[in-house]
Amino acid sequence: MPDILANLNPPQLAAVTLPPQHALILAGAGSGKTRVLTTRIAWLISTGQTGPHSILAVTFTNKAAKEMLARLAAMLPINIRGMWIGTFHGLCNRLLRAHHRDAGLPALFQILDSADQLSAIKRLLKNFNVDDVKFPPRELAGFINAHKEQGIRAAQAEAYDDYTRRRVELYAEYDSQCQREGVVDFAELLLRSYEMLQRNEPLRHHYQERFRHILVDEFQDTNRLQYAWLKLLSGHNAPVSRPNGACVFAVGDDDQSIYAFRGAEVGNMRDLEREFKVENVIRLEQNYRSQGNILDAANALIKNNRGRLGKNLWTDAGAGEPIRVFEGFSDIDEARFVVDEARELTLDGYTRNQIALLYRSNAQSRVLEHQLFTAGVPYRVYGGLRFFDRQEIKHALAYLRLIGNPDDDTAFTRVVNFPTRGIGSRSIEALQEAAHRANSSLYNAAASLSGKAGTAVGNFIRLIETLREETRALPLPEIIDHLIERSGLRQHYLAEKEGRERLENLDELINAATNFLHEESDTLAAQEADPLASFLAHASLEAGEHQAGEGQEAVQLMTVHAAKGLEFDAVFITGLEHGLFPHENAAQERDGLEEERRLMYVAVTRARKRLYLSYAQTRMLHGQTRYSLPSFFLEELPEALLHKINRAPAYSNNAATAPARAAVSPASGQTSANGLRIGQNVQHAKFGLGVIVSAEGRGTEARVQVNFGAHGMKWLALEYAKLAPA
């Protein structure tokens, strides 16, 4: 056996070889967190302290789970099949499949992704004649999910006003609709399995006794419910010495908590320490990733946050290069710089895979993509529209879902008239009416209402019945192939102008099913007897990393969120503008700016050798040109670490032009007599530094709109306000 403990530093070694007890590992960026986690598992098993059967490891993404599995396979000579390694959602799915009866679910229950959930809610509102302006579906979805993530059912939800009372009612109705349809949303997977274990003592004991070691990655991103779930499963109230109950080994970094917006509670780290009586928190502070300047910048930045658990990363790599800062005239100009620079890097020996272009929001990728495309640089965009989110895929899967579970109204409404077969909104409303009255699914209503052939609805029911019959004995990929054909999907996209890519995606779906059968039969122990159900779960829970050109060397584009856990030789953080990064919406949220800062911290710490920070004076946003100030995060970095890059003015003469105004000239034009132009930085006695965003009127009427960053957006009369160009 290779010495798996070789080359661990002292704190890493201490963490890996900790005797059986609850543990909290505070692991800074690039400190070897994943390595510690996997080595811990390997050590527990290879020293004979425990078997694979007794391990439960939770990660946040499927990718992380896969990577852990791969590393373990390399470290351990044994079969790793018995281990439960996966995301919270994946593991809960597994639990619920195995005990669907105890959980009160049908064997083939299906999983709603966020889009499905939204359409289920829209349907609900329609059924109950609820005004969807007063109760926006998105908001209601957020309300429901937030409650579930705190472990609160509608029955316990607090209704502090009439409006909320109504929302709570709708929450309850939504849950019964899901129950009737045999579907489960993301949060429900967790809450349902939590309640099942809580209610069912034998089952709970079974798993408490089985899992001796529960290991959690990215612990700072767990929500209340996930914490409670871990607590329950570990039987933490029992003393550790007792024969049942597991040791919880949690690894996290409070400075990298960037999912508070969806219910993550950094406070879970403190709670774990207190409630699980963690005796000594182990800190991993040596960073093996970034060079000194980059790390210094990250440390300086994150110091501005309050209430940290405290940690200071260090490296024994040299200082390395300075951090390069670029100010672009426009977003296009910025993108050009980034692409030029990225090309230079490849000439200097950087491989394209090792160059990442990061941004705060997905919309920003467009300009970068355009420049990359123009320059002929291969690139790959992560996130955005996922494979399983594409409409053609969702349509095909909806047919598959209906075959497995006719009560799935979400699937039903999606494809009942796609491709169009003469079932319009009128018929669907009638169906909904009937289903509502009979308290049955749309499918049942349709079947009993128009049992006789000939009607459009009757034909649709017959189509599904036939599909079910014909595919009964077929392997999964052939089922999919068959239904694409028979449902008319293929025909439909064949006729559509832009349909070629969609057809390719449908073919890719068949491939995905084939691959799924091969891969999953190895790893997932094939304990889910029904391949259809498990493939559908896979489609809901997994982003679908099948993207074209995956093998090719390409520059990597992604949001900062998506970059967490990754590292690159060279990183560009783009769009460092006030209002964009930090995002303006963040100011409204509790501790929003601190979360933005952590996001920036994550971004900075992705870089190994070279880091670029860039921003633009003007940017197209929502179809309009916006003028903004540099992000104040830039000011939080020590000047000595930065190297400002200026480019020849001729290079950036393509700034977006703003319409000419009387008192204030457009950005690209000449400066007007009073020295002001749109995009001009100005100084105000009270509000400080700002930038002119727009202007109107002339003479004594002239007013300008100025963005003062933290002081907000102001309209000022030029006659009175003393604005000095800055």
Feature table: binding site for ATP: 27-34
Choosing from 256, 354, 413, 625, the catalytic residue is 256
Q: Pairing mode, if any, of strands 607-621 and 323-330?
A: parallel
Q: How far is the CB of 324 from DNA (least distance, A)?
A: 25
Q: How far is the CB of 151 from DNA (least distance, A)?
A: 15
Give the nearer residue to DNA in terms of CB position, either 63 or 210: 63
Q: Is 722 a catalytic residue?
A: no
For residue 525, the number of C-alpha atoms closer than 13 Å in the C-beta half-sphere is 11
Give the nearer residue to DNA in terms of CB position, either 171 or 687: 171
Applying CB under 7 A, which residues contact DNA? 60-62, 87-89, 113-114, 122, 138, 186, 258, 261-262, 360-363, 383, 386, 417, 420-427, 541, 543, 559, 561-562, 583, 585-586, 589, 592, 620-623
Residues 6+ positions from 364 with CB-CB distance below 8 Å:
331, 574, 575, 580
Choosing from 175, 217, 333, 596, the catalytic residue is 217
CA atoms of 726 and 706, how far apart (whole Å): 13
Give the nearer residue to DNA in terms of CB position, either 20 or 488: 488
Q: How far is the CB of 50 from DNA (least distance, A)?
A: 26
Give the nearer residue to DNA in terms of CB position, either 351 or 361: 361
CA atoms of 303 and 287, how far apart (whole Å): 17
Give the nearer residue to DNA in terms of CB position, either 186 or 276: 186
Q: Is 569 a catalytic residue?
A: no
Q: How far is the CB of 663 from DNA (least distance, A)?
A: 27
Query: Which tokens is 609 given?
Result: 């050798």
Residues 6+ positions from 205 with CB-CB distance below 8 Å:
244
CA atoms of 681 and 627, how far apart (whole Å): 10
Sign of CA dihedral 539, 544, 548, 552: negative
Choosing from 34, 38, 364, 559, the catalytic residue is 34
Q: How far is the CB of 422 from DNA (least distance, A)?
A: 4
Q: Is 502 a catalytic residue?
A: no
Q: Is 552 a catalytic residue?
A: no
Give the nearer residue to DNA in terms of CB position, either 351 or 491: 491
Q: How far is the CB of 114 from DNA (least distance, A)?
A: 5
Give CA 228 to chain center in angstroms.
Answer: 22
Name the binding residues.
27-34
The residue among 30, 639, 616 whose CA lies nearest residue 359 is 616
Choosing from 606, 608, 626, 677, the catalytic residue is 606
Choosing from 175, 185, 188, 218, the catalytic residue is 218
Give the nearer residue to DNA in terms of CB position, either 452 or 497: 497
Q: How far is the CB of 586 from DNA (least distance, A)?
A: 5
Query: Which tokens is 210 given?
Result: 């089985």
CA atoms of 713 and 711, how far apart (whole Å): 7
Query: Which tokens is 134 given?
Result: 């007063």
| 277 SS3 class | coil
Instruction: Read off φ and ψ for residue 249, nearest 5 degrees.
Output: -120, 100
Got the DSSP string for 155-188? Answer: GG----SHHHHHHHHHHHHHHHHHHHHTEEEHHH
Task: Name the percent of the chain in helix, strand, coil, to the closest 5.
Answer: 50, 15, 35
What does each C-alpha distance from 660 to 49, 663, 666, 668 come to in angstroms?
76, 9, 5, 10
Give the nearer residue to DNA in terms of CB position, either 116 or 327: 116
One-letter amino acid for residue 545 of the chain: E
Give the bridge partners for 706, in sequence order. Answer: 692, 714
One-letter amino acid for residue 497 of the chain: K
Q: Is 606 a catalytic residue?
A: yes
Q: What is the largest CA-CA distance in the chain?
A: 85
Q: How far is the CB of 380 from DNA (least distance, A)?
A: 14
Q: Is 311 a catalytic residue?
A: no
Strands (E), 266-393: 282-284, 323-330, 355-359, 379-381
Catalytic residues, by residue number, are: 33-34, 217-218, 256, 606
